[in-house]
Amino acid sequence: MTLDELLLEWSYRSEKGYPSLDSPSDISLLKQILNELNLPSDNILRNLQEMATNLSKSELEKYKDDPSKDRISILIKKIENDEPLELKNGGTFIVVNKEDAINDLRGDIPVSGVELIDKEGNTITTSKLKKTTEFGAGSGAGGGSVDTRIMESAHCYGCAIAYNIVNRKITRDDLIRENFDQASSYVDVDASIDEIEEFLERKPLWYESTIKSVNKIYELFSNKSYKFHRGSEQVERIYNAWKESLERKEKKLAQYQTMKDDKWNPSDIWLMTDKVTDFDWSGNLEVLNGEISQFYEDEDLIGVSLKMIGKNSEAKVKVFNDPGIPPGNVYEYEGYKTTSKSSGLEILYTGGSITCRNFDVIKGWSTEIKGKAAQGGKCGHTGVNDILKINNIAQLPLSKDIIVAFKENDQEHYNKFYYLYDRFIENIDKESFKEKYDESKLSWKTGNYMGLEFLERLEDNEDKRNEILNDVMRYASSATKFSSQFIKIS
């Protein structure tokens, strides 16, 4: 597998399609892929992280043919002005061999970088320089939130071009500046055309994915003079209506106070006609969801959740939370799987499993779906507790309390851990468990403890376990009993 193929696979499996080295869950996913390929995950991760933070030859030479973004020119100017350059490992460096360094930067840059010398005679190469904001930091592996905004806005522009400029499905040749400019009156987004062009150049995998998604949307919905929204005032009005409905504290809805916007509706972009503009949305959630479904039925409002589409894959579409489809329990509990060495466990259900573990070393406990339904979707600690509360079952303890308890070797929690371990993982005497406990890391203790607490609630509530399981599945796929209609393109 080549590096490009590895990054494509990582992108495709990630929740949003653009993994980040700042995301513990994305790092965990990459490790899983590398382990499946029998590759040295620690070495590869270290190299990727270094590539993301230092000014390597490839990073330095990006946009060298574009005067407005040429990083070599930026570095030369800083050297000419005696500006301190930040080092990857901390500190700064002021270059004194200006003439030689600038000449080398204007020539063929070696893989190891151009040699730089300071007034004390210390020598480094440009590859030891830190990739700071002016050299593109925040738009690479660690710039997920920035890329999200731009990627979704790019899809809006692509739709506007298809529906209003070329009046057909688009090709790569249609994503050009002239068409972007003409399409600008048909979009309401929070990214500029310059940002979109830079993103598509920097993330070539998204070129094809964007085209496939846009063409699937164009194929599904007739042209009704849509405006394409991302992060706009009209989108904010919809989500404000959802938030207001939560504040009404209806008896059962109150259990979902902590549910995030994207679990109610995870749409990344919205297609809207004038009928929806400034619509007076209901503050009652049931009515609000009905309004959204009615507008969807009339093709006046389409919420779209986007995910990267693989190079050799076709765009697939799925409708979520259609009121015409009963949301009954379709998954059945089939047991669990775990070992004495693992730091979590798997809940088995018909057609897949739910992994329960820490996604951030000792905290960030969550469930993650493995299976055709909601693949990669997560229902975190708070979401699980909301579901348990709705089903009148005791909630899981707080992660922070468990961390403190095991750091301080609290006897009550230790005894409960031993009971759960002996019951669900392996029959073990107290002395052997104490030996295993003492030699294990905090992450093993907290991850297993939380998973076993959740398993105990499933095992001890046979009449409710399928309801809990299906609630978790719905939550992970943003299809809870309180969610609204949208389509997912992947």
DSSP string, 216-258: HHHHHS--S--EEESS-HHHHHHHHHHHHHHHT--TTGGGGTT
Question: Of the candidates 210, 307, 340, 320, which has an alpha carbon nearest to the alpha carbon of residue 265?
Answer: 320
For the chain, give the longest Cα–Cα distance.
78
pLDDT in tens, the chain (490 residues): 666 667 767 776 666 666 666 565 677 778 878 887 888 877 777 666 655 567 878 778 876 666 667 888 889 999 998 999 988 777 899 999 999 999 999 888 888 889 999 999 999 999 889 887 777 665 444 445 567 888 999 999 999 999 999 999 999 999 999 999 999 999 999 889 998 998 888 788 888 999 999 999 999 998 779 999 999 999 999 998 988 876 554 555 555 556 678 888 999 999 999 999 999 998 888 889 889 998 998 899 999 999 888 878 899 998 888 766 555 667 899 999 998 888 889 999 988 899 998 876 556 788 988 865 555 678 888 889 888 988 889 999 998 899 999 999 999 999 999 999 999 999 999 999 999 999 998 889 999 999 999 999 999 999 999 999 988 887 877 767 678 889 999 8
Phi and psi dihedrals of 225, rounded to 5? Answer: 60, 50
Task: Tell me what pLDDT residue 36 has.
Answer: 79
Sign of CA dihedral 477, 481, 484, 485: positive
Which of 337, 339, 340, 338 lies closest to 437, judged by CA?
A: 340
pLDDT score, position 141: 40
The pairing of strands 363-371 and 123-125 is unpaired
User: pLDDT value at position 142?
Assistant: 40
> What beta strand segments (E) does 372-478 contain?
378-380
C-alpha to C-alpha distance for 87 and 89, rounded to whole angstroms:
5
**pLDDT (0 to 100) of residue 475:** 80
pLDDT of residue 463: 93
Confidence (pTM): 0.60
Q: Closest Cα to residue 120, out of 93, 157, 84?
A: 93
In degrees and rounded to multiples of 5, residue 244 shows phi and psi of -65, -40
Q: How much is the pLDDT for 270?
A: 97
